[in-house]
Amino acid sequence: MATYVQYEIVVVNLDPTVCSEIKKKRPCLVVSPNEMNKHLDIIVICPITSQSKNYPTRVSFDLEGKTNWIVIDQIRTIDQSRITKTIGNLDDETIEKVKSVIKETYVD
């Protein structure tokens, strides 16, 4: 099993889903810490979408020349077998924004 790194962008098959959950195969951001990713078969991700409004729980960034949003309001735990490949990493500025929104949304 591959070891995934926090803030790495991976392609994940999110189906099957129910109701309003983001579906299909899409890029996702790994948010679980490296220690967890190394030792557990599960991983915590945030889906990424190219279709979004500028919500406070979403962080915009450039992916392959297009604006995309990290959907922090749909953070979820998945089995690592759903990951099909790794496609990149976030830049430091976007990582800081993601950390801030996660903290604001789930901690404070």
- The verdict on residue 3 lying in a domain is no
pLDDT recorded at residue 1? 62
How many separate domains does the chain show?
Answer: 1
For every one of its 108 residues, what pLDDT tens digit does the chain have, with 9 covering 90 and above? 678 999 999 999 988 878 777 778 999 999 999 999 999 999 999 999 998 778 899 999 999 899 999 999 999 999 999 999 999 999 999 999 999 999 999 987
Identify which of 66, 69, 77 has the alpha carbon closest to the alpha carbon of residue 37.
Answer: 77
Domain range holding 59? 8-107
CATH number for the domain spanning 42: value is 2.30.30.110
pLDDT recorded at residue 17? 79
DSSP bridge partners of 46: 29
Compute the half-sphere exposure of residue 72: CA atoms within 13 Å on the CB side of its CA. Answer: 22
CA distance 69 to 80: 22
- Kindly report the backbone phi and psi dihedral angles of residue 105, in degrees, each rounded to the nearest multiple of 5, phi listed first: -75, -45
